[in-house]
Structures are given as C-alpha cells and as structure tokens.
Chain A
Amino acid sequence: MDIINALVVFANFVFVPGLAYGAQLALGALGVTLVYGILRFSNFAHGDTMAFGTMAAILVTRGLQAMGISFGPLPTALIALPFAIAATAALVLATDRGIYRFYRKVRAAPVILVIVSMGVMFVMNALTRFIIGVDEINFADGGRFIIAAREFKELTGLAEGLAIRTTQVITVVTAAVAVGLLFWFLGNTRTGKSMRAYSDNEDLALLSGINPERVVAVTWIIVAALATTAGVLYGLDKSFKAFTYFQLLLPIFAAAIVGGLGSPLGAIAGGFLIAFSEVTVTYAWKRVLGYLLPADLAPEGLVQLMSTDYKFAVSFAILVIVLLFRPTGLFRGKSV
C-alpha cells in the first residue's frame, strides 16, 4: 500500500505536471529547431511569438464567449486556436517579408540574424503589451478537473490523492496531435520533403528546383502554428502574462540544443528531458520517501535538491553537460 501511495504522490506532483510541461517545451523547441534548420539562425523572438499567439487566442476566446459559444467541458480557447494561428502566421510572414528576407538576400552571417531577431523580440513584446496589457490573465474555462484529488481518494481508498487537470490532459493530447501532424507533413508531403531537403543541403535543394521562398514561407506558417499552440497550452495550464514567455526562452533553447538543433525528434526528447529534470530536482521528496522508507529512516528535511527558483540552473546544467560531451546534441543536430 505504501508503495502505491508513494507512486500516487509521485504521479501527482512530478509525473503529470512534468508531462504537461514537457509537452509545452517540446512544442516550443520544435519551433526553434525548425527556424534553425531552414533559416539557420537562433530565433530569440520565439518566446514573444508564443506570447503574441496566446494573446490572439485570448482575444478570440473573449469574442466567442461574448457570443455565447463554448466548448462544453473543454476550454473555449481550443476553438479559438485556429484563428489565433492564422493571426500569428500573418504576423510572422509579414515580419519575414519586411525584415528577415533582406538579410537572406545579402547572405548575412547567422549571428546578425540573431541580433535582428532581438529587435523583432522587442517589437513583438511591445505589440503584445500594447494590445492586451501586462496583467495576469486566466482564460481557462470548462471543466477544471478530469479527476480531483478527493474523488480519487474516495474511488481508490488510498491515503493520497491524484488530481489530473483538464488542461494537463488537453496539453498532452494536443501536443501529440500537433507532433503527429508535423511528422506526417515532413515525411509524406511534397512540401515537407522539400523542407527537409532544403534543411540538409541548401545548394543541392536549389539545384533540384525547390523554391526557397516557398519553403521559408511554409516554415514560418508551421512555426507560427507550433508557437501559438505551445503558448496557448502553457497559458491554459498556468496563466497568461505578457513577459513570462520571454522567460520560457531559456528552457526552450536548452531543449532544442540538448536534442540537437535542427532535429525535430531531438527537440521533443529535449523538451521532456528538461521538463522532467526541472521538476525532479526542485521537488521536495519528503512525502514520497516517507512512504518508501521504514519509519525510523524517514527524512527530517524536505529532501529538496534545489529550491524551485533554481529551475533555470537545472536546464542550464543539463545544457552544459550535453554540450561538453556531445556538442551536436543527443540526436546529432547540425552545427554550423
């Protein structure tokens, strides 16, 4: 019984939150890695693209709610998602036309594009703040729990409860669907294949008649979709604030680099690796160990390896270790 209780505590505080957070990071890292693979620079504006997409979703959600449309037990934001993706795609395509395309044409060094993306980051952040302000916004509606802690206790008769929130399940399911679609697209469609060819060898792809502008445009649309989905899921799971997405940049980049920049599979693995490490290292293991160890060995302290404020340090430490021992990342990404 104790072992089951320990497992339930573990699932409640480590596994389920880690899974949801990992799915959000994986979606974010996929966007970063796609931009890197096709456009060949690290996009610092990615966090703020996510923020912009989430903001669009919130505005559409409010509109839908005002019209009395809801999605039953599911959050209305899911209906708003396609509209938000369209708005974000329009924004990033316009950004590419107005800003990035020039640097592609003059074949600027990747590091210049990184600095340009810093400028884009400033402007996008400001746009989000202009439109929706800086207050914390909670836009999750519908049912809050699939199963609440008390129900679980009554159901199983265990001492510990397991709460699974709707948003957590939605996050994992949506992320799985998005990743499935992406891999199907990259693997089976003509456009997807041309994207992979362009990423592997630009010159060869151009020689075989692939239109680079088309590849770039499609990439931006996919990146907008991934960023918006990741942003909305994160916002549903936690809450929306205009500047929290900038802070997500570090774990997202860590996930993409750990997995191997340019490798979609790596981005997903990296996302879950970073998320689970963050949650495991900053969780206080007292209760789990209390069930597992005999009573006289039970720990006195919290058995927390690091305080939660150091979660950056965790993503960062993993990043450094991987880079030192395997500089191209776990899945052999590209290294320009």
Chain B
Amino acid sequence: MRAPLLFAAVACLFVLTGEMQSWNVALAILNMALVSAIMAMGVNIQWGYAGLFNIGGMGFVALGGLAAVLVSMPPVPEAWAAGGVGVVAGLALGALTVIGAITLVRRMPAGRMRTVLLLAVLIAGFILYRRVFDPAVSAVEAVTPAATGYLGGLGLPILLAWPAGGLIAAGAAWLIGKTALGLRSDYLAIATLGISEIVIAILKNEDWLARGVKNVIGLPRPTGVPFEVELQRSAAFLDWAAAWGFDPMTASSIVVKLAYAGFFVVVLGLIVWLAERALRSPWGRMMRAIRDNEVAAEAMGKDVTARHLQVFVLGSAVIGIAGAMMTTLDGQLTPGTYQPLRFTFLVWVMVIVGGSGNNWGAVLGGFLIWWLWVMVEPIGLWLMEVVTSGMADGLLKNRLIEAAAHMRLFVMGLVLLFVLRFAPRGLIPER
C-alpha cells in the first residue's frame, strides 16, 4: 500500500505546482522528471541489481545527446567532401594502432623485444594518425564555421536517436567494463568518473563531431510534436483554444509539453516493464545472488565478471537513452552544461532516496528529487525573505538572500545523509 500512496503524494506536489505556480512550469518539471526517472532506472540496474558503483552517469547522458545530433541533423555534404574521408581514415588508423598494441601484448611473450615493438607501434601509429586526422579536421571545421563546421548527422527521424543513444552508451560501457570491471569497486568508481569527464572534454573540443562549445541548436522534433509557432498560426488550434477559453500562447506551449510527456511516458513504461520482468526472472535472481555474495555465486558456477559486464552495459544503455531523450526535449546539444553534480550525483540521490534495488523506487526518486531540485531554490528564496523581512538592510541580509541560490546542494546533501542514516533502504524498499 505504501508505494501507491507515495506516488499519489508526489503527484500532489506536481498538481500543487500547477495550481499555485503555472501548469507550464509543472509540465516542464514533469518532462525532466520523466527523463530523470529513466536515468535513475539505469543507475538502479547497475547499483540496485548488481552492486556496481558507477559515478560516470554524466558521460553516458552526454553520449546519448551526441546520438541525437548524429542521427537527426542533416549531413553537411561540403564538410564530407572537404575532409570526411580523412576524418574516418584517421579514426580507423587510431583504432588500428590500439588494436595492434593490444594484440602485441597478448600474443608476444613479455620481454625487451615486446616493449620495443609496442612503443614503435604506438609512436608510429600516433604520428600517422595525427598526419591523416589533423588536416582533415581543419578542413571540416573551415566549412562555414559559423553555421556548421562539422560533419553533420544522418538526417533521420530523431526518435531513432533514442535507441541509437542507448547503443552508443552501451558500446562505451563495454569498453570501460572490459578494462575496469575486474578491479575493485572504488576503482570502478574513479574509472567511470574519469571517463565521463573525458567524454565531456571530447564533446567540448572536437568541433568536427558536434560543433563543440559552439553548440548544435535547432534539432528536429519527433513526428507528432508540433512547434509552438505552427500551432499559434493554425486556425483550427486557435478556434479550439478559444472554445475552451485558453490563452493561445500558453495553450500551445502546454500542448507541446504534453506531447513530449506522452512519448516519455511510453518509453519509461516500456523500460520499467522490461526491468520488472528481468528482475523477477531467473536472471534477476542470479544478479541479486551475485550482488549479495559473489564468492557463493561463483561457487555455483556463475561467471561473475561476465554478468557484471552485462548489467553494466545494460544500465549504461538505459542512461544513454535518457540522455538522447533529454537532448531531444531541449532541442539542442550544449556540452558546456553537463555538470557531474547534476547528471551523476543527483541521479544517485534519486536512486538512494527512492530505494535501491526497486525499479518503482528509482522512478519515485526520480520524480521526487527532480521536483525538489527545481523547487528548492524558489522555496529557499521565499524562506530567506520571510526570515530576513524583519532585518535591517545590510551585509547579512544580502548574504542570506544570495545564499538561497545555493540551497539546492545543501538540501540534496542533507536528504541523502538523512535517508542513508535513518532509512537506508529508501522510500520503497526492495522486496
């Protein structure tokens, strides 16, 4: 009975926001809450099912966003003509160098010969890669840099970017998992933290890929989601709004948000359904057995490292899907806005508060914590104004009112600490 009540309570928060502030704000929070819930599901699959400590969520979110650009933006033929071949060849050379180095280490017996050969392959490969790659990149980035300056995407419907985001994130996760999963848990944490920073660095600097900090804007919308301006011009919509007595501006923006919410609810529902099925299947029981006692599971003949890799890839794919959805919702990819506190650690708060190991808990945590994250600032400001209303104007008063802007981190930290201390199993505990 506990879970439905909690969900009803969170729903009340959103309704209250809608009634007291505006429905536009409430729906904007709801859309991001839906995306956050999916991110929390991804972290929950890794941490709750298998006990893997991944603090690189931000990187997978950003890879999902990259997928949105690569799938949906129109290709830039001039850029492809200028340096497309060179970029692809350069990347292939780089990959070949790494594969060659790995094969060398695996195939040759250790010794001075191997070290020398390895260094030779790496250095020669690097120089060759830079020789091919650098001129191609300059050529691509010189093509109308103010508008494009990158290779563009495939020009496909953006809905395809959601599974594509999952695939790209899964591929990255496979690479990370292959190297870091055999190590102990703290090292996986640091490794994922590092990878996520590197992903952001790549997105910020490789202009040929997705324009770097110049941002890609004006991403297409999914079929079925109209633009606000189109709605405001359509006579049918204006009549409909007038018949119900809505302001056409507000109504158009609400309709668009509802359309997005519809898509997001479908994806969230699908992922929750699949995750619930997986959790109740023999596979889910095996994962929990591995989480609770690795040695015993290994004694039963379970391949712990392979299962860890599997669940790490799955969870990261879910986070990647959420990342692609978020970029679709924003309509732009802005690498400068990816902050680890927001996209990694906040998602962790969602999972812990909601209840790790429980899919519904992760979803609830996503909704509740995202709402809190957005609303803490206005509430804090209001609180500070009430507190300081009796004070004379001065340094302390200004300081307190300014401090409201930083309430978010403070409240999130306190919530996390209190839940860990007094309700470590979260709001909806694992059954």
Q: How far apart are A146's CB and chain B's nearest CB, in angstroms? A: 34
Contact check, A127 vs B410: say whether CB atoms are below 8 A apart.
Answer: yes
Please pick, from B53, B345, B410, B421, the residue contacting A111 in the complex, using a CB distance under 8 A: B53
B112 proximal to A (CB < 8 A): no
A144 proximal to B (CB < 8 A): no
Contact check, A310 vs B201: say whether CB atoms are below 8 A apart.
Answer: yes
Contact check, B194 vs A126: say whether CB atoms are below 8 A apart.
Answer: no
Question: Per DSSP, are chain B's interface residues mostly helix, strand or loop, or mixed?
Answer: helix
Contact check, B421 vs A315: say whether CB atoms are below 8 A apart.
Answer: no
- Stretch from A54-62, A84-92, A194-202, A317-325 forming part of the interface with B: A317-325
Contact check, B403 vs A130: say whether CB atoms are below 8 A apart.
Answer: yes
A260-279 interface code vs B (CB 8 A; 1 in, 0 out): 01000000000000000000
Q: How far apart are A196's CB and chain B's nearest CB, in angstroms? A: 21
B420 proximal to A (CB < 8 A): yes
B135-158 interface code vs A (CB 8 A; 1 in, 0 out): 000000000000000000000000
B225 proximal to A (CB < 8 A): no
A77 to B193, CA, bound (A): 32
- Interface residues in A239-280 by Cβ distance below 8 A to B read 246, 249-250, 253-254, 257, 261
Contact check, B416 vs A119: say whether CB atoms are below 8 A apart.
Answer: yes
Please pick, from B180, B194, B417, the residue contacting A312 in the complex, using a CB distance under 8 A: B194
Contact check, B412 vs A122: say whether CB atoms are below 8 A apart.
Answer: yes
- Interface residues in A86-133 by Cβ distance below 8 A to B read 99, 102, 110-112, 114-116, 118-127, 129-130, 133
Tier of interface size on chain B:
35 or more
Given A119-B420, A257-B190, A320-B191, A310–B348 Cβ distance below 8 Å? Answer: no
Given A118-B345, A319-B191, A324–B179 Cβ distance below 8 Å? Answer: yes
Closest to B402 in A: A133
Q: How far apart are A280's CB and chain B's nearest CB, in angstroms? A: 15
Closest to A113 in B: B420
Given A119-B416, A250-B197, A42–B409 Cβ distance below 8 Å? Answer: no
Contact check, A111 vs B412: say whether CB atoms are below 8 A apart.
Answer: no
Please pick, from A112, A253, A320, the residue contacting B420 in the complex, using a CB distance under 8 A: A112
Contact check, A323 vs B183: say whether CB atoms are below 8 A apart.
Answer: yes
A336 proximal to B (CB < 8 A): yes
B184 proximal to A (CB < 8 A): yes
A307 proximal to B (CB < 8 A): yes
Q: Offer 16 A-B interface pairs, CB within 8 angstroms, sorted by A.
A: A112-B420, A114-B189, A119-B413, A119-B417, A122-B345, A122-B410, A129-B406, A129-B409, A133-B402, A253-B190, A257-B190, A313-B201, A316-B191, A316-B198, A319-B190, A320-B191
On A, residues with C-beta under 8 Å from B are 41-42, 99, 102, 110-112, 114-116, 118-127, 129-130, 133-134, 246, 249-250, 253-254, 257, 261, 301, 307, 309-310, 312-313, 315-316, 319-320, 323-324, 327, 335-336
A-B interface, 10 closest residue pairs, ranked by CB to CB distance from nearest: A122-B413, A126-B410, A123-B413, A316-B194, A119-B416, A126-B409, A129-B406, A119-B417, A312-B197, A130-B403
On B, residues with C-beta under 8 Å from A are 51, 53, 134, 179-180, 183-187, 189-191, 193-195, 197-198, 201, 204-205, 340-341, 345, 348, 352, 402-403, 406-410, 412-414, 416-417, 420-421, 424
